[in-house]
Structure 1
Amino acid sequence: MSFAYSVTDLRRIEREALAGGLPLMERAGRAAADFLGRRLGRDRKILILAGPGNNGGDALVTARYLFQAGYLVEVVTPALAQRPYSGDAERAWLGWLAAGGQAAADFDQTGDYGAVVDGLFGIGLDRPLTGEYVRLVERIDQLNRPVLALDVPSGVLADSGAVPGAAIRANWTLAMLAPSRGLFTGAALDRVGELHCATLGVEPDQRGLHPLPVLAQAPETCRRLLRRQDSHKGSYGSVQILGGNDGMVGAALLAGRAAVAVGCGRVSLGLLARNPPSVDPLQPELMLHGPGLLPAGDIAVVGPGLGQDATARRVLAERIEAPQSLLLDADALNLLAKQPALRTALRQRQAPTLLTPHPTEAARLLDCATAEVQAQRFEAVQKLAETFAAIVVLKGAGSLIASRETCAINHSGGPALANAGQGDALAGLLAGLWAQGLAAFEAATIAVWLHGRCCDTLLARQPGRLAVSASAIIAESVEQLGLALEPPAS
């Protein structure tokens, strides 16, 4: 499993490595030069953008190594007249000049560049780009050339993943030492391109650090789902799904089918529609009832197709008071945001609670704008977990899973999941896994990874496909979960 770090933690790793005498800037520049050298022929000119700080120093060392290897290199230092460098970055600047290099404050828009190296601003940027840097980023975008970003695409905030203004759109991002957490979530995902990491020979001492697991592969906890020979349906839990109001029965059916697909022992639906179906012909294993006639269940899911009428409010209030594990999604979250008494009751629950908001639902729960949630996704998910004493999945690009103690980042899936029914499918996958004896946080990490993994696999089988339906995800989840449960290769 890989990890991502806050900027505070990365600074600490960097300080300790420098205190140990490691030449980090020299190693970073060499790593970036080697990275490009494996991808470009020596007949291509490379444009190097060197900013005013240590990120610019990394870029200057990169320029020197490429130049000495025979590449045509053009260095642009926008703040050159201000003598921007000090410390290691100044030594990198002097090393570039000593090697015979030159620098300019601008570049030729018609230049035939094979690639661009973005070394303008690194992980320390905490504000929007302004002035000449905005114009520079816009002109780089117009070049339409491959871009390698060092550490983080300039304009992306490394700690949050927010893009508050202009930002480099990279084809590759080469993180130094370890990746920052913002590279995996939010608007950053449209700027990072392929993410690679150069550790620079540093093994971080994890004591005092707070690394966040990145779910790019099957979580190790998947193997806790392996079954005993001596078992029966009661061994694998039961899920109740309450929702399916008029015109929205399909949402509850999707959630129920997903719970069955991942092996839940028994799944019952409490449908609020006035004339609900009595059977699901595509999944007859589901037991369909009215909301007041459900058999007992280990996990209650409230929200898929719930609506916000008086019956929906009553069902939600009853389930919050019930002594069973509870997952709230969709309109259950919207009702929660509107009803202070429900929020108070939820905070007082003793049984485990799990919330799965998308950014706008999270904003309603936090009484802020959606843009605020997206600008600070880590802070938002943590605040929700603390406020409601719950495990929280903040959905979206780079979904986050948080408890009051920890957080994980999902790195599977993509924009092909942006269509109706995906939240219902995810809720069902999560509840079906949770019911089988996993802790809520474990179930959430597996379900979110699995949901995205199914999307990735389906897209790989059919390149060019724009969207993947929730029904297709549910069908694929059987195979992908099975693969995750296979023993590792010896």
Structure 2
Amino acid sequence: MYYPVKQLRNLERQHLAQGLPLMQRAGQAAADFVSQRFGSAAQLLVVAGPGNNGGDALVTARLLKQRGYTVHLLFRGEVDRLPADAAAAWREWQAAGGLVVDKIPPHPVTAVIDGGFGIGLNRPLDADWKTLIAAVNALQRPLLALDVPSGIAADSGARLGAAMHARWTLSFIGRARGLATGAARDHVGELHCDTLGLDLTTTPPPICCSRQLAAKTRLPRETDSHKGRFGTVAVLGGSAGMAGAALLAGRAALHAGAGKVLLGLLDPQAPSVDPLQAELMLGPAEPQRLAPADVLVVGPGLGPTGGPLLQWALDSDKPLVLDADALNLLAGAPELRHHLAVRAHPCLLTPHPSEAARLLGVDTAAVQADRYHAARSLASGLAATVLLKGAGSIVDDGHHTAVNPSGSAALANAGQGDVLSGLLGALLAQGLAPWQAANLGAWVHGAASDALVANDGRLVTPASEVLLAVDRLLGAQRA
């Protein structure tokens, strides 16, 4: 579960108004975290910044010094401008005999504690901080980030010029939503959270975790069943040279539980049978042939000439999954976007960042700078459920938001989007709502790849193998 920065600040203010010593508790939690992992012979470098996160670091430094650790405090800020609690922590550090260094010590450092900015950074770093971060990262020592690695925007996960590489990030009160997506995924390391003794049961976080939502979703499979109970998925695409995309989507739909899968292929030279999955029913992309389907997956290998097929799908009364070239066609046709926005039937969009950028009329960097905002804008503007792919995929239906923790760079290979779209089509065909399908699909797709990597340490997980692993994971979702 994750919080936007505004809500974290409100929670902090509410509890500080009650007189709770939150900075002392944060420093205690961080000191305990370090003590559990390093003996008192460790040489520690503590980086303290100009605000309350620096105050957390100062308390941590003092407590560790009192426990016998050698602590080198590198302070970057102006003492006279420290907030009240951080200023008190500074005075306590001095009273404890603590010293301040102005550069990284020349002797070996065992570990680093990063208390630079926490959730407070919302602007690009200046040159001095970039230089310091580069020097700390060059040490290649275990680093504990307090709340947020310095250089990461807590709300969006964007990297603001440079960022600390943490082995662990210890969040206080609650996890900032930016830690779960985008560039942050390369900097956070293991994510831990200490609520500082606060009862947050009456303040549920607005950003859900797809893994937790997936755990609550079931796919009923009664013994007395037949294929008609699990729906028919039609995959529309497979233009010249791209039949493989439609085949991957179709195979994924079959392995994800669809009772039947039809492939409507645009390439007149397309095969009539899939030799690796003979259960798939291949044929031309003719509306009358595909009309019996319960769900339409439009886009895998669709190509730029698939506009009429997309128009037919939008005119239908069936749930849709739109991916790849279906999204590119939408981006170039305002009338199709309007048709989608006023359509009365469910639709699930699965853009990667560049496709999302084209739909929003911005560049890819703008999407990646605030993935949550991009997903919400698409979901609200197109009246659809959106699964914005990437590191920490985001699911948004215009009212609710979730972020998915599964998956890694092992998924960075061709065909993964096709597998995901087929998987989502099958989940819709089995009766799941788009919100449920998107969260279960996002998590299972990433977790299937993770399981393959964990099994043999491979570098990549090809799409054709991921779809088989998806089948095994979905077995656990049976009611």
TM, length-normalised to structure 1: 0.95
State the partner residue of 2:122.
126
> Which segment is superposed worse, 476-485 or 234-243?
476-485
Aligned to 2:334: 340
Q: 1:19 is matched with which residue?
A: 17
1:241 to 232, 235, 243: 235
| Match for residue 472 of structure 1 among 448, 454, 465 | 465
Equivalent residue in structure 2 for 1:150, among 133, 146, 151? 146
Tell me the secondary structure at the aligned position of residue 226 of structure 1. Answer: coil
Change (3 A) 1:218 1:402: closer
Q: Structure 2 length normalisation: TM-score?
A: 0.97
1-structure distance, mates of 2:304, 2:390 = 23
Q: 2:320 aligns with which of 322, 326, 334?
A: 326
**Which structure 2 residues correspond to residues 29-428 of structure 1 after superposition, within 5 A?**
29-80=27-78, 82-108=79-105, 110-207=106-203, 210-216=205-211, 219-223=214-218, 225-292=219-286, 293-309=289-305, 312-428=306-422
1:340-367 alpha-carbon deviations (Å, 9 max, x no partner):
2211211121111111000000000000
**Whole-Å Cα distance in 2 between the matches of residues 336 and 396 of structure 1?**
20
For 1:258 and 1:215, the matched residues in 2 are separated by: 20
How far has the Cα of 1:78 moved from its partner?
A: 2.0
d(CA) in 2 for partners of 1:218, 1:407: 11
Q: Secondary structure at the match of 2:216?
A: helix
- Following superposition, the deviation at residue 483 of structure 1 comes to 2.9
Cα distance in 2, alignment partners of residues 418 and 76 from structure 1: 39
Read off the aligned partner of 1:43 and give its amino acid letter: A
- SS of 2:118's equivalent in the other structure is coil
Q: Per-residue displacement from partner, 1:119-150 (whole Å, max 9, x unpaired)?
A: 01010110011032121111111212111110
Contact preservation (8 Å) 2:55, 2:89: yes
Q: Displacement, 1:275?
A: 1.2
| Letter of the 2:329 counterpart | L
Offset from partner CA, 1:307-349 (integer Å, 9 cap, x none)? 112xx11111111111111111000101111112211211121
Cα distance in 2 between the residues matched to 1:216 and 1:450 = 8
Q: Is this contact kept in 1: 2:385–2:397, CA < 8 A?
A: yes
The answer (yes or no) to whether the contact 1:279–1:288 under 8 Å persists in 2 is yes
Conservation of the 8 A alpha-carbon contact between 1:336 and 1:343: yes
Give structure 1 stretches of 5+ with no counterpart.
none
TM-aligned CA deviation for residue 189 of structure 1? 0.7
Following the alignment from structure 1 to structure 2, what is the Cα–Cα distance between the partners of residues 111 and 196? Answer: 29
Alpha-carbon distance in 1 for matches of 2:215, 2:141: 39
CA contact (8 A) 1:358 1:396 kept: yes
Instruction: Kindly provide the amino acid, as one letter, of the partner of residue 70 in structure 1.
Output: G
Q: CA deviation at 1:94?
A: 1.3
Distance 1:140 1:402 in 2: 37
Equivalent-residue separation in structure 1 for 2:207 and 2:3 (angstroms): 6
The residue identity in structure 2 corresponding to 1:353 is C
- 5+ unaligned residues in a row in structure 2: which ranges? none
Q: Give the conservation status (yes or no) of the 8 Å contact 1:119–1:150.
A: yes
Deviation readout 1:243-270 (Å, 9 max, x if unpaired): 0111111110111111111111111110
Kindly indicate whether the alpha-carbon contact (under 8 Å) linking 2:47 and 2:74 is maintained by their aligned counterparts in 1: yes
Greater shift, 288-297 or 186-195, is seen at: 288-297
SS of residue in 2 equivalent to 1:412: coil
How far has the Cα of 1:295 moved from its partner? 4.5
State the distance in 1 between where 2:440 and 2:348 align. Answer: 14
C-alpha deviation, 1:217, in angstroms: 5.1
The answer to whether the Cα contact below 8 Å between 1:218 and 1:484 also exists between their aligned partners in 2 is: no
The two structures, once aligned, show a CA RMSD in angstroms of: 1.4
% same residue: 51
Corresponding residue for residue 449 of structure 1: 443
Q: CA deviation at 1:116?
A: 0.6
Equivalent residue for 1:481? 474
Supply the AA of the counterpart residue of 1:473. V
In 2, distance between residues paired with 1:231 and 1:354? 27
Q: Which amino acid is the alignment partner of residue 84 of structure 2?
A: G
Cα distance in 2 for partners of 1:265, 1:475 equals 16
SS in 1 for 2:358: helix
Query: When the two structures are aligned, how many residues end up with a matched partner?
Result: 477
